[in-house]
Structure 1
Amino acid sequence: MAQAVKKLEQTKNVVKNVPVEEKPKKEVNFVALLITVAIGAIIWFINPPAGLDQQAWHLFAIFVATIVGLIIKPLPMGGVAILSMTTVVLTGTLELNQALSGFQNTTIWLIVIAFFISRGFIKTGLGNRVAYMFVKKFGKKTLGLSYSLLVSDLMLAPAMPSNTARGGGIMFPIIRSLSETFGSSPEKKTEGKIGSFLTKVAFQGNMITSAMFMTAMAANPLAASLAADTAGINITWTGWAVAAIVPGLVSLIVVPYFIYKVYPPEIKETPAAAQIAEEKLKEMGALKKSEWSMIAVFFLILGLWIFGSKISIDATTAALIGLSVLLLTSVLSWNDIKKEQGAWDTLIWFAALVMMASFLNELGMVPWFSELMGNSVSGMVWILALVVLALIYFYSHYFFASATAHVSAMYAAFLAVAIAAGAPPMLTALLLGFFGNLFGCITHYGSGPAPVFFGSGYVSQNKWWSIGFGISLIHIVIWGIVGGLWWKILGLW
């Protein structure tokens, strides 16, 4: 009897220790979903404006609903993107192959591969080693550390026409490692320590350095080519750089300080950081074999990004080569690739946005908008017309998931309209060229590097958009007033 009681007690204990299966967390916010669908439906059933095809209008309705969904989040971003693509097909707005065409975009895959490469820096410990070296030299103050990162970006910018490769492939892994060195991680809910600040500063700095050189972003040579074809304006590499150097440097000084004030890191001073970093470097010892492999791949990718165009290797192919080498040398395993959730999540939602933005242009929505703006500024004094057009050009980027797509769609039209209104051709061409980079500051999907930095989880969407809008105003003031005075000295107007 005693044994039976004892056995029964043991059984009870076992039952008590069996973990209760947790109910799956609901990801769907039906109120937010209803609001998202309602906004899309209202736009859908409004008759399209004159001169605009109904198909383009319906796609615009779905696009607006998608943006609303990304803001109020009835589902995670990937879920919203899947619903949008499904709606596009079920409503007959686009064919299935068209709805999935975003996954063929090479820039998207460059972004995804940048996530994988950054994992190599972290896994091998090379990222931490580099981070400790930065901390050792610049780690006394967080603000000073952020400026050192921007200087690094600025040094690389003239030779790297892919700001995604520069920001996502080089700067992002270092920032991620720096953040983890200070115990700042989204997974641990400690992103506010230093990671959020460094992530936001590095991204915004990338937008500025991209605007400062004709060869710092893929769409810049396109803008120069469109300026020559549209109005016979010859923008030289030197001319672009000289015009951008003063407002660019001012922005690089002001923007990090602005972020430091409105989105301050918890860790502001680290007086012992240099000593700690030195001790950590001693503990790490000599470079390991995996670190040497990572260094070799890093310089291979960097070399191909800088010189690859001469041998017909684009930025995404270069990144694929680097990733392949990392897999072949076992620096990364396929399990590492599968576990990089931010990369796969980014692939889904960014592909959906790029697809819709591309077809909005192809179906005539963007050209119609450009023509409408041209009619709106006719008869204005050229300064006012240029200001209005530049502002519209800047903030219309909310509707684009690619700076290159935006420049391709609107640069030539807005340049022609401004010149017709009497604006100085070279001034207009350069201003729109600069804005073709700076407008990436406003959203988390509007430029190649944005999804890489945002996908890390260090900065919430609300903070990204609100701070981005504030920085957009700073850019407009700096490049409009400081830049305007500098361009007056240069004789551009």
Structure 2
Amino acid sequence: MKTLEKINYQKFILPLVFGLLFWFTTPIRPAGVTVQAWQMLAIFIATIVGCITLPIPISGVTLIGFTLTICLGLAPLADKVVNGQLVAKGAINAFANSSAWLIVMAFMISRGIVKTGLGQRIALFFVKWFGHKSLGLGYAIGAIDLLVSPATPSNAARAGGVVYPLIKSLAETFGSKPNDPSRKKMGAYLIFTEFQINIITSSLFMTACAPNLIAVALASKAGVTLSWMPWLMASIVPAAICLLTVPYFVYKLYPPEIKETPNAKEWATGQLKEMGKLTMPEKMMAVIFVITLILWMLSSTLGIDATLIAFISVSLLLFTGVLTPKDLLSETGAWNILIWLSILVFMAEKLTQFGFIGWISTSISAGMKNISWLAALVILALVLFYTHYLFASATAHNSAMYLPLLTVAIAAGAPKVLAAQFLALFSAIMGSTTHYSSPAASVLASSGYVKQGEWWRLSFIFGIFYILVYGVIGLAWMKLIGMW
């Protein structure tokens, strides 16, 4: 007998309360804010709160918000044309967002890496080469995450689908079990190392996590273009410093009980032997992956859009038989992102169009008029970072705060590209705060290897480290390469 899907209707209460509160306070809205802007804000806030409480999956929450926006007359569904002139852009155009499609295509590329077994083979080789000691295993884990991150816009897929299965197998090899005193032998160290590395790689590449693409899309609403290679150039020095030092710091602050790991090399060698020789699908995947990375790096020089490159890559994967149309259709995470990211960016665009973002940036800037733009930018970055303790979703957090903070920074006099890039990097490293800070954090924290108290204490320490590296060295580096 078929039944209805279970929905936690209680989790609709908070979004509904916030939405109605703002909607019915329209008559007493602040001076300078239009009726449309305040009503759009009510729907946007209700949607963001819904993305936090999650009564239904995030794509469903945003779709409801999208529908309300149209039904309440804040946007027409289709383009509105009067006397041959476009007077209102249709809401349906939200799903033409190129940043959202870039993520979708990157998900498909990532699926090819997993499907062919190329990701697992690469991971095993790193363990074989660097796994003689526990510290070497930490760096091997980092190298694995780093290598697959450019084409894996889901840090949860990277951590949970590629790296975690390897960590679990390694931990069991050394008798390290979750929710058990033996967790400290090896598993806890490797899990926490991967968590930190995942944060760093997420900041390094524009396509390494979904919140990055949200930042890119929202920055475009402020008239700023962030592209793949300039992003890499801005992040490479602070990220490289962290990639080189963080595994060592984790080893010292949260050391494994087992220091020597000769079994790791033997285990990896055995696993590679079972896999056999490099298969044709793996070879094709490797070639297309390399071509994709090269084209992304040269996209600005060649004048090719990063999204188009991703489409070309997926087309090649289909043409060569690495992926099938069925593979694309079954990648539900990608299609979910297409829905919610497109809608959230559309809502932010409406807030800008109705003048709310301009009003709030002007209002905040007035209170910061005696502060230099550099100090203002740093303060705004810290606000973005530490308010993440209040969010269980970097998606919701970036959608709510990135564009207002960026417009304030620009209004304070910060160079546009610098402000957009600096805040985007902080929106990546803010994931280091808690065990619920991102899907990747949730995947790793639920493994049972790291206790919650340990997670919070160590994350706070590493958070300060990231702020110093990205906030001081990162800014200095961006000055050196001419971003300000």
Same-fold status (TM-score > 0.5): yes
Question: Match for 2:118 among 105, 121, 126?
Answer: 126
Residue 401 (structure 1) shift: 7.2
* Within-5 A mapping of 1:328-367: 328-367=319-358
2-structure distance, mates of 1:68, 1:468 = 25
Query: Is 1:31 aligned to residue 31 of structure 2?
Result: no
1-structure distance, mates of 2:58, 2:143 = 33
Give the structure 2 partner of residue 90 of structure 1: 71
1-structure distance, mates of 2:337, 2:398 = 17
Indicate the SS of the match to 2:321. coil
Query: Is 1:107 aligned to residue 88 of structure 2?
Result: no
2-structure distance, mates of 1:42, 1:95 = 24
2-structure distance, mates of 1:170, 1:299 = 20
Query: Is 1:49 aligned to residue 30 of structure 2?
Result: yes
Give the structure 1 partner of residue 129 of structure 2: 137
Give the structure 2 partner of residue 180 of structure 1: 165
2-structure distance, mates of 1:244, 1:320 = 26
The residue identity in structure 1 corresponding to 2:422 is F
2-structure distance, mates of 1:290, 1:180 = 21
Equivalent residues of 2:133, 2:260 under 8 A apart: yes
Give the structure 2 partner of residue 439 of structure 1: 427
2-structure distance, mates of 1:404, 1:76 = 16
Give the alignment's Cα RMSD to 1 decimal: 5.2
Equivalent residues of 2:103, 2:153 under 8 A apart: yes
Rate the CA distance shift 1:291–1:41 in 2: closer, same or farther, 3 A. Answer: same
Indicate the SS of the match to 1:96. coil
Equivalent residues of 1:367, 1:410 under 8 A apart: no
Query: Is 1:318 aligned to residue 309 of structure 2?
Result: yes
2-structure distance, mates of 1:345, 1:264 = 38
User: Which structure's CA Rg is the greater one?
Assistant: 1
TM-score, normalising length: structure 1: 0.67
Give the structure 2 partner of residue 6 of structure 1: none
2-structure distance, mates of 1:261, 1:64 = 43
Give the structure 2 partner of residue 70 of structure 1: 51
The residue identity in structure 1 corresponding to 2:274 is E
Equivalent residues of 1:120, 1:294 under 8 A apart: yes
Residue 372 (structure 1) shift: 0.9
Question: Match for 2:201 among 198, 203, 206?
Answer: 206
Query: Is 1:301 aligned to residue 292 of structure 2?
Result: yes
The residue identity in structure 1 corresponding to 2:199 is Q
Rate the CA distance shift 1:310–1:262 in 2: closer, same or farther, 3 A. Answer: same
Q: Which whole-Å deviations, capped at 9, do the CAs of 1:424-443 have from their partners, x for residues lacking one?
A: x8xx9857743332223447
* Identical amino acids, percent of aligned pairs: 36
Runs (5+) with no aligned partner, structure 1: 1-20, 157-162, 185-189, 212-216, 229-236, 420-424, 445-449
Q: Which whole-Å deviations, capped at 9, do the CAs of 1:411-433 have from their partners, x for residues lacking one?
A: 575245257xxxxx8xx985774
Equivalent residues of 2:116, 2:322 under 8 A apart: yes
Runs (5+) with no aligned partner, structure 2: 79-89, 170-177, 207-211, 225-229, 447-451
Give the structure 1 partner of residue 412 of structure 2: 417
2-structure distance, mates of 1:264, 1:32 = 40
2-structure distance, mates of 1:486, 1:356 = 34
Q: Which whole-Å deviations, capped at 9, do the CAs of 1:65-95 have from their partners, x for residues lacking one?
A: 1111111111111211111111111111222
Give the structure 1 partner of residue 85 of structure 2: none
Residue 99 (structure 1) shift: 3.1
Q: Which moved more, 1:467-476 or 1:78-87?
A: 467-476
2-structure distance, mates of 1:395, 1:68 = 18
Indicate the SS of the match to 2:153. helix
Give the structure 2 partner of residue 168 of structure 1: 153
Q: How many residues align?
A: 424
Question: Match for 2:276 among 280, 285, 297?
Answer: 285
Equivalent residues of 1:138, 1:144 under 8 A apart: yes
Q: Which whole-Å deviations, capped at 9, do the CAs of 1:108-163 have from their partners, x for residues lacking one?
A: 11111122112212222222211111221234577755545656888x9xxxxxx9
Rate the CA distance shift 1:43–1:29 in 2: closer, same or farther, 3 A. Answer: same
Equivalent residues of 1:327, 1:334 under 8 A apart: yes
Equivalent residues of 1:141, 1:270 under 8 A apart: yes
Equivalent residues of 1:36, 1:65 under 8 A apart: yes
Rate the CA distance shift 1:288–1:81 in 2: closer, same or farther, 3 A. Answer: same
2-structure distance, mates of 1:269, 1:292 = 34
1-structure distance, mates of 2:327, 2:124 = 24
Indicate the SS of the match to 2:18. helix
Rate the CA distance shift 1:124–1:134 in 2: closer, same or farther, 3 A. Answer: same
2-structure distance, mates of 1:429, 1:78 = 30
Rate the CA distance shift 1:149–1:165 in 2: closer, same or farther, 3 A. Answer: same
The residue identity in structure 1 corresponding to 2:124 is Y
Q: Which moved more, 1:370-379 or 1:97-106?
A: 97-106
Indicate the SS of the match to 1:100. helix
2-structure distance, mates of 1:342, 1:394 = 26
TM-score, normalising length: structure 2: 0.68
